[in-house]
Each structure stands twice: as structure tokens, then as C-alpha cells.
């Protein structure tokens, strides 16, 4: 009886379970069907890409050199390869050259950026050519530069992507390398998602970030570009707040970005501060550190491609062009954009320096400019200096006056002592 009574309910239960499994398998099927796999007909694997770059460097030893930096902690190790472009015309002329540091592949899933690194290096080696720039212009531009290229900052994260985790952007142990720097590190917004933005246990906890920090501090570049994908934009500091630097720094960065937007982005790239334009604040980013701490005069984050129509799970499609024509277009447009930067960047800095020198006609003006610049860069912390500007001017004048007096006293003592010094024989003792 009990068995007979339970028959219909068992049937209902079985039916429900089968419908559930059918629908969930259909769901799984539909998700899998909409996820685009990495197109290895267009893209290199990380191993092939680094091998090809190594071969390129070996074929052009007069222009390209490569170093690999290794670091690690708590059982996690990472290595970062750095390719240097420098045409040595004279010995030891590296320090007089204009220095540019470019990083690609900081986020694992943004494969197109590492392809761009290879394209730029191929053009620098002159194995590939830019249709928009003749060789004479290219050579005169490049003779003044030393360019360091990090083709794949996050090799471990990239390997996870290649292993099937197509949405992974973090490093090999789940830390976002663009949140692991010390400027405004660790602050979390309301929509904080550790899968996307885990900043690590402390600033510079990650070997990759440590390597990049040392590289940037020792190289002291004039231009830094952190190359990403997910949208099309040309960002300047700051990422952690809705403001840009003021006056001269803003002017030099903005005019360079506007030129790049006009020439290579058909004016549709977004320009502005990362924090003000992207729709969220990012804390502990590389570009904010480069600008504030390394004092790189022109520090940028470029976003070179994004497919807004792709579903949020379809990361290869969202962050990378999937067909040959868009792939080639992105690489041609953006390699040309970088060569525009190589050409215009040094002029930009010279021009603005000369304008700045024209403007500095008095100590008072210099002091005003210097103090205003400091105040703007550090916000409220320096306001006290603005209040005391008048006093600072007076103290500075007094300081100069006392310096002159001291020098006078010192010189008069020396001349006295020279006169009274006994004449000694020039014969060695
Ligand atoms: Zn990114």
C-alpha cells in the first residue's frame, strides 16, 4: 500500500530531477557554446611568444638585448623578461638618451597586448615596417631613445589562462598585479571583487611587482605605458581618485594623448584620468606609483581593445580581437601609436621644459610654482605651505643673504691664511 501510494510521488520526483539535469546540462552547454576559445591560429602561446622574442633579440644584437629577472617568496616564484632597445652610437651615452618603459600582459587574459609587444619589437629590429613612417624618420627618432619592453609581465597568470581559465587576470597565486603597488594600496570600493582585484597581503608582496619596481626605479623612465585591453582608452594619472595632475604635467600628457587619439584612434579613445573615466577607482596601481613615486613625467595606461558586446564569461572575446582583420588592425594601429609616442614624447618634454624656463623670471615666481606644484600633487597635506608662502619667501631671502655673508667670511679667511702661510721647500721629505 505504502509502495503503491508512493509511486506517483516517486514519478514526480524522478521527473523533476530529470528536468533539472536536462535544463542544467542545456545551461552548461549554452555557456560552453558561447565561450570563445583562444584562437591559436592568430595568437602565440606564451612559450612561443617568448621564444620568438628571444630569437629576434639574437638576430639583432646591435639593437636589442634581453635580461630575465627572477624573484620569489613563500614558495612562489616568478620571472620577468625585459628587452632593451638601444642603438649604441657612442660608448656610455645611455644616460643622455630619452628613456621609455613599456609593460604588456600585466593581466593574463589580455593576450592581444603581448602580441603588440612582439610587433613593436619586430619594428624596432626593422624586420617589420610601419607604412606610416619612413626609415630615415624612424632612425633619427630611435637614435635618441632607449626603450625597455616587458613583453609579458604576468607569465604565471598567462599560463593559467592558457590552461583554460580564460577570465584570469591575476598572477599565479591570485593577486592582481595592478593593485599590488604602494600608492593608496589596499583600499576597497563597495563593488570590490577579490576574483578581479585582490591587492595581495601587502604592497609589493608579489615577485612580479618587486621586479617591476626595481626596474622602474633604476631605469627612471621619462615615459611609462602600462598596456591593457578591455576597452579603448588613453589614461593618465590618477587611477585612485577622480583628478588629474595640474598645469604643466597635465598639459604635456594631455597633448600627447590627444595627438595619439587623433592619429591612431579615430578620436574615439577615451582620454582622462583612470579614476575619472573608467567608472571605478583603482587603488595600488602601477601608473599611480610611476607618477607619484618614480616621478615619471609622462605615465600612462593604454587600453587597446575591448568588445563590449561579449558576455562577461566570454573573456577571450571580451579582451581580444578574435578575427584576423580586427587582430591585424589593432596591431597596426597601436604599433603606429607607439611610434608616434617615440617621435613626439621627447619633443613634448623639451617644449614644456623651455616654456617652464621662460616663465621662471624671479625667485618668488619659482618658489610659488614649486610650492603650488607640491601642494597640488599631495593634496591637503601641503596646504600648510600655501598659508606660510609669504614667510617662506622671507626665510629664503634671509637664507641667501646669510649664505653670501658666510661665503665672504670664508674667502677672506682663506686669503689671510694664504698670506701668512710659511714658505716651505719644494723638496720631498
Ligand atoms: Zn588589464
How would you write 32-88 as a 3-class SS string?
A: HHHCCCCCCCCCCCHHHHHHHHHHHHHHCCCCEEEEEEEEEECCEEEEEEEEEECCC
Q: Which domain holds residue 378?
A: 361-416
Distance in Å, CA 18 to ligand 1 centroid: 42
Say what the pTM is: 0.77
**Do 238 and 352 sit in the same domain of this protein?**
yes
Query: Is 17 domain-assigned?
Result: no
Strand partners, 271: 234
Q: For residue 183, give the CATH number of its domain.
A: 3.40.630.10
Q: How far apart are CA 309 and CA 311, in angstroms?
A: 7
Distance in Å, CA 136 to ligand 1 centroid: 35
**Do 267 and 402 sit in the same domain of this protein?**
no
**Do 50 and 180 sit in the same domain of this protein?**
yes
**Do 229 and 334 sit in the same domain of this protein?**
yes
**Do 105 and 118 sit in the same domain of this protein?**
yes
Distance in Å, CA 42 to ligand 1 centroid: 20
Query: Is 41 domain-assigned?
Result: no
By annotation, the residues acting in catalysis are 303
Q: How far apart are CA 112 and CA 81, in angstroms?
A: 18
H-helix or E-strand spanning residue 302: strand 298-305
**Do 332 and 365 sit in the same domain of this protein?**
no
For the chain, the domain total comes to 2
Query: Distance of CA 312 to CAs 110, 147, 274, 305, Å?
Result: 14, 35, 21, 15
Distance in Å, CA 266 to ligand 1 centroid: 22
Q: Please report, in tens digits, the pLDDT of each residue of the chain (429 residues total).
A: 334 334 445 444 444 444 444 444 433 334 455 899 999 999 999 999 999 999 999 999 999 999 999 999 999 999 999 999 998 766 556 678 999 999 999 999 999 999 999 999 999 999 999 988 888 888 889 999 999 999 999 999 999 999 999 999 999 999 999 999 999 999 999 889 988 999 999 999 999 999 999 999 999 999 999 999 999 999 999 999 998 998 889 999 999 999 999 999 989 999 999 998 877 899 999 999 999 999 999 999 999 999 999 999 999 999 999 999 999 999 999 999 999 999 999 988 777 666 665 544 444 444 444 433 333 333 333 333 333 444 555 566 777 777 877 876 766 665 554 433 333 333 343
Distance in Å, CA 108 to ligand 1 centroid: 8
Last residue of a domain, one of 310, 329, 357: 357
Last residue of a domain, one of 357, 376, 399: 357
**Do 194 and 313 sit in the same domain of this protein?**
yes
Last residue of a domain, one of 357, 379, 407: 357
With cell 638585448, the residue in question is 65
Q: How far apart are CA 275 and CA 343, in angstroms?
A: 28
**Do 400 and 285 sit in the same domain of this protein?**
no
**Do 339 and 389 sit in the same domain of this protein?**
no
Q: Which of 285, 132, 258 is nearest to 197 (CA)?
A: 285
Distance in Å, CA 83 to ligand 1 centroid: 21
**Do 412 and 312 sit in the same domain of this protein?**
no
**Do 269 and 122 sit in the same domain of this protein?**
yes
**Do 97 and 221 sit in the same domain of this protein?**
yes
Amino acid at each position: 500500500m505504502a509502495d503503491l501510494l508512493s509511486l506517483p510521488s516517486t514519478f514526480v520526483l524522478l521527473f523533476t530531477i530529470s528536468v533539472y539535469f536536462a535544463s542544467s546540462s542545456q545551461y552548461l552547454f549554452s555557456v560552453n557554446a558561447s565561450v570563445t576559445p583562444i584562437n591559436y591560429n592568430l595568437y602565440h602561446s606564451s612559450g612561443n611568444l617568448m621564444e620568438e622574442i628571444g630569437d629576434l633579440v639574437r638576430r639583432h644584437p646591435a639593437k636589442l638585448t634581453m635580461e630575465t629577472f627572477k624573484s620569489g617568496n613563500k614558495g612562489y616564484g616568478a620571472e620577468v623578461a625585459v628587452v632593451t632597445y638601444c642603438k649604441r652610437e657612442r660608448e656610455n651615452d645611455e644616460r643622455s638618451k630619452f628613456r621609455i618603459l613599456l609593460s604588456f600582459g600585466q593581466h593574463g587574459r589580455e593576450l592581444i597586448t603581448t602580441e603588440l609587444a612582439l610587433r613593436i619589437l619586430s619594428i624596432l629590429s626593422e624586420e617589420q615596417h610601419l607604412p606610416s613612417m619612413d626609415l630615415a624618420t624612424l632612425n633619427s627618432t630611435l637614435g635618441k631613445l632607449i626603450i625597455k619592453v616587458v613583453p609579458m609581465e604576468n607569465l604565471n597568470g598567462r599560463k593559467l589562462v592558457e590552461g583554460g581559465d580564460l577570465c584570469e587576470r591575476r598572477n599565479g597565486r591570485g593577486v592582481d598585479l595592478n593593485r599590488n603597488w604602494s600608492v593608496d594600496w589596499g583600499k576597497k570600493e563597495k563593488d570590490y571583487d577579490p576574483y578581479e582585484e585582490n591587492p595581495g597581503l601587502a604592497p609589493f608582496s608579489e615577485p612580479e611587482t618587486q621586479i617591476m619596481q626595481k626596474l622602474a626605479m633604476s631605469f627612471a623612465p621619462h615615459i611609462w605605458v602600462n598596456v591593457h585591453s578591455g576597452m579603448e582608452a588613453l589614461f593618465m594619472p590618477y587611477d585612485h581618485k577622480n583628478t588629474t595632475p595640474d598645469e604643466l604635467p597635465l598639459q604635456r600628457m594631455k597633448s600627447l594623448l590627444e595627438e595619439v587619439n587623433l592619429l591612431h584612434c579615430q578620436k574615439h579613445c577615451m582620454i582622462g584620468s583612470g579614476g575619472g573615466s573608467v567608472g571605478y577607482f583603482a587603488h595600488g596601481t602601477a601608473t599611480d606609483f610611476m607618477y607619484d613615486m618614480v616621478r615619471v613625467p609622462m605615465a600612462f595606461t593604454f587600453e587597446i581593445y575591448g568588445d563590449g558586446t561579449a558576455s562577461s564569461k566570454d573573456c577571450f572575446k571580451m579582451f581580444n580581437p578574435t578575427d584576423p582583420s580586427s587582430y591585424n588592425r589593432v596591431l597596426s594601429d597601436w604599433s603606429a601609436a607607439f611610434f608616434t609616442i617615440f617621435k613626439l614624447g621627447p619633443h613634448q618634454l623639451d617644449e614644456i621644459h623651455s616654456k617652464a624656463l621662460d616663465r621662471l623670471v624671479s625667485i618668488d615666481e619659482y618658489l610659488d610654482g614649486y610650492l603650488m606644484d607640491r601642494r597640488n600633487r599631495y593634496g591637503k597635506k601641503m596646504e600648510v605651505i600655501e598659508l606660510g608662502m609669504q614667510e617662506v619667501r622671507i626665510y629664503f631671502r634671509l637664507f641667501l643673504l646669510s649664505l653670501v655673508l658666510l661665503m665672504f667670511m670664508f674667502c677672506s679667511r682663506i686669503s689671510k691664511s694664504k698670506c701668512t702661510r710659511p714658505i716651505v721647500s719644494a723638496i720631498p721629505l
